[in-house]
Amino acid sequence: MHLVRLAFFLTCAAAWAQNTRVILLGAGTPNPEPDRMGPAVAVVSGDRVYIVDCGPGVVRRAAQAGIRTEQLTRAFISHLHSDHTARCFEARDKVIAIGGDTTYNYASIAAAKGCDIPVHELYSQKGWEGRTPEWRKYHAAYHTSGPDVGRVAAQVRPKKLVLYHLLPMGQTADEVLAEVRRNWQGEAIYAKDLDVIR
């Protein structure tokens, strides 16, 4: 695989085919969740496949999604946990922005403005309140709470907000989505592995 390490900036890749879609190959985190593999997102545009992050299980999930192994030639590593990056894919039919680990971040919001589908990480604010001070400090320093993801979306104003790299911390999907909806009432998708978003 051709690996490109990205750090602290947002870049744009042109992909000119249509029917561009996001496939969640891993909607989870490094934590061992039974239903969600480690972070990995495919952007498929025509016959081109771009993989952003390669969490455990990425090749098997790609096969489940109908992506052939020989199509896995373009991979971007946004983060090795926990730096702050985003990658923007501009296709003819839509713009997709995939964040790695990030806090609420004005630069990322400005760069993602006008984007159709941001794919954003999230932790539950309510779950976070029950963590130890050490963990609260860590999550607040490197990640984004549910209400803050809502604030991001309210400024980016996307067609669909996709939530991945999920840290619900004991809260249900509906409870986490309610945190986001305090600040953003548009479509928000609490991603599962193999979700396809167009």
Distance CA 22, CA 87 (A): 13
- Using the CB atoms, write b or e for 4-32: b if 16+ within 10 Å: eebeeebeebebeeeebbbbbbbbbbeee
Per DSSP, what are the bridge partners of residue 22?
43, 197
Question: Which region, judged by CB under 5 A, interacts with Zn ion, from 99-107, 125-133, 166-174, 179-187?
Answer: 99-107
The total number of residues shown for the chain amounts to 198
What binding mask, one character per residue, do residues 22-51 give for Zn ion by CB under 5 A, x or -?
Answer: ------------------------------
- Amino acid 91 reads A
What binding mask, one character per residue, do residues 67-96 give for Zn ion by CB under 5 A, x or -?
Answer: --------------x---------------
CB nearer to Zn ion: pick between 81 and 131? 81
Q: Does 151 bind Zn ion (CB under 5 A)?
A: no
Residues in 107-146 that interact with Zn ion by CB under 5 A: none
Q: Does 101 bind Zn ion (CB under 5 A)?
A: yes
CB of 53 to Zn ion, least distance (A): 8
CB nearer to Zn ion: pick between 31 and 69? 31
Residue with tokens 């995939």: 98
Q: Does 53 bind Zn ion (CB under 5 A)?
A: no
Asked whether 140 and 123 are in contact (CB, 8 A), the reply is: no
CB of 160 to Zn ion, least distance (A): 21
Distance CA 25, CA 84 (A): 21
Binding interface with Zn ion (CB under 5 A): 81, 101
